[in-house]
Copies of this chain bind each other. A is one copy, B any other.
């Protein structure tokens, strides 16, 4: 269980720095509920994970979410994967340090090709608020539903 506090921005262009760690990610949603609760399968490198996320209760702040994750065997993942049909995202993720923070750039593939986002994770809400986005970041889309993974997976690329 962890509380995630993140900010998310668009990128108009992206060239991975030599230090970036690249991971191929395939994630699919078994369920997305009206209250924002999601149940997802994620394959990231050799890892396979079942995860449930939901919004934390009010005191934890609006950007905070509850996340529970468990590793799956390959067979379990394969058995459950068909339940995510029509709600999948495939992307390459580049993780590296920039502007004193660890950033994750996602380069989407398939039907979402052309979309690039960058996420920065923080330990506290105060840190998140104090973060000054570097020049190469585009528009902030933190909390913008159209750029959330749930919506991207089910509705495709936002109109711009």
Contact = CB atoms under 8 A, between A and B. Distances in A.
Contacts of A83: 33, 35, 37, 52, 54
A72 interface: yes
Tier of interface size on chain A: 20 to 34
Interface in A42-84: 50, 52, 54, 56, 66, 68, 70, 72-73, 75-76, 79-80, 82-83
A38 B102 CA distance: 36
A90 interface: no
Contacts of A141: none
Contacts of A70: 50, 70
A31 B30 CA distance: 9
B54 A66 contact: no
Contacts of A66: 79-80
A1 interface: yes
Contacts of A80: 52, 54, 66, 68
Contacts of A37: 30-31, 83
A30 to B, nearest CB: 6
Contact of A50 (B52, B54, B56): B52
Q: Which of A54, A79, A82 has the most CB of B within 10 A?
A: A79
Contact of A39 (B31, B35, B76, B79): B31
A44 B30 CA distance: 24
A69 to B, nearest CB: 9
10 contacts: A1-B76, A30-B33, A39-B52, A50-B68, A50-B70, A52-B80, A54-B82, A66-B79, A68-B72, A68-B80
